[in-house]
């Protein structure tokens, strides 16, 4: 029994580190069946509407389902709710694994893991792409500065009304090979994000019940840690 508990704990810790390492190396969803783009909608138009929707709001709240796939490993599924505040702040509260918190503030990340009584901290440095999903949202109006953007397979828009965009870094990035954003054309809000790495890792974030907010308190991004929490600052690349 003790050995079984030890094995389970080791597996949970590995999944925690995989999630943190991927987010750190990412720059936070394959898309299933291809969602083709409408011929009367260009990527520029879709991004313009998406950017305007974000600019009009102070932020948004959503539920998320995160799929992390690693080569030769089992998919790691996580879920919870997230809060985004303009510009470039995001906090993800995980309900599974329970109690974990990922805070993204600009190019800084903090990942609280209550199971280990640790918070992992890293500052991202990239000259080629926005370093975190929060900065990606903050730069929606300037994505062509960082990426070549194309519709995900041309053709008629399906009955779902979803428009897929593929983002390829203009300058070689040592981690990110391709990013995808799926936009609901009825709301001009993202429903899915996918990040593919050169090493075969892939993270998909499905957003549900997403709605814009007119006010987001700054205090929502204060990470209050219980006594005894160990702070681990990491600099190595992942």
> Which CATH fold topology does 13-31+41-232 show?
outer membrane lipoprotein receptor (LolB), chain A (2.50.20)
- What separation, in Å, do the N-terminal and C-terminal C-alpha atoms of the chain show? 34
Using alpha carbons, list the distances in angstroms from residue 81 to 2, 27, 232: 33, 21, 24
Residue 34 has pLDDT above 60, yes or no: no
What pLDDT shows up at residue 134? Answer: 79
Task: With cut-offs at 50, 70 and 90, classify the pLDDT of residue 19.
Answer: low
- Summarised one tens digit per residue, pLDDT across range 42-71 is 888 888 888 888 888 899 999 999 999 988
Residue 140 gets the label, from left (phi > 0), alpha (psi -120 to 50) or beta, of: alpha
Alpha helices (runs of H) in the chain, residue ranges in sequence order: 2-26, 43-56, 133-138
> Of 69-73, 149-153, 223-227, 228-232, which gets the smallest average pLDDT?
149-153
Instruction: Output the CA torsion 99→191→195→121 (10° steps).
Output: -30
118 band by pLDDT with thresholds 50, 70 and 90: very high
pLDDT digits (tens, 9 = 90+) for 164-216: 999 999 988 778 889 999 999 888 899 999 999 888 999 999 999 998 999 99
**219 Cβ contact partners less than 8 Å away, ≥ 6 residues apart:** none
Highest mean pLDDT pick, 31-40, 66-75, 124-133: 66-75
Length of the chain: 238
pLDDT at 84: 94
The per-residue pLDDT for 29 is: 33
For the chain, percent of residues with pLDDT exceeding 70:
76
Are 87 and 142 within 8 A, CB to CB? no
Q: What is the mean pLDDT of residues 18-43?
A: 48
86 vs 206, more confident: 206
Q: Looking at 58-67, 71-80, 134-143, which range is the least confident one?
A: 134-143
Instruction: Say what the pLDDT of residue 238 is.
Output: 32
């Amino acid at each position: 029994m003790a050995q079984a508990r030890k094995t389970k704990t080791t597996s949970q810790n590995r999944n925690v580190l995989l999630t943190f390492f991927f987010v750190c190396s990412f720059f936070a969803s394959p898309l299933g069946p291809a969602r083709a783009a409408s011929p009367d909608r260009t990527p520029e138009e879709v991004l313009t509407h998406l950017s305007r929707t974000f600019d009009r709001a102070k932020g948004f709240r959503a539920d998320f389902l995160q799929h992390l796939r690693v080569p030769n490993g089992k998919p790691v599924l996580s879920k919870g709710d997230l809060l985004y505040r303009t510009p470039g702040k995001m906090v993800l509260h995980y309900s599974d694994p329970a109690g974990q918190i990922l805070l993204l503030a600009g190019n800084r990340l903090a990942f609280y893991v209550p199971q280990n009584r640790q918070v992992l901290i890293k500052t991202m440095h990239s000259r080629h792409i926005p370093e975190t999903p929060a900065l990606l949202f903050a730069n929606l109006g300037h994505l062509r500065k960082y990426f070549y953007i194309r519709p995900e397979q041309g053709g008629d828009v399906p009955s779902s009304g979803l428009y897929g965009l593929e983002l390829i870094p203009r300058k070689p990035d040592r981690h990110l090979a391709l990013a995808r954003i799926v936009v609901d054309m009825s709301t001009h809000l993202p429903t899915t994000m996918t990040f593919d790495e050169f090493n075969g890792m892939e993270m998909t974030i499905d957003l549900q019940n997403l709605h814009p907010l007119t006010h987001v308190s700054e205090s929502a991004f204060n990470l209050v840690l219980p006594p005894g929490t160990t702070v681990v600052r990491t600099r190595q690349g992942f």
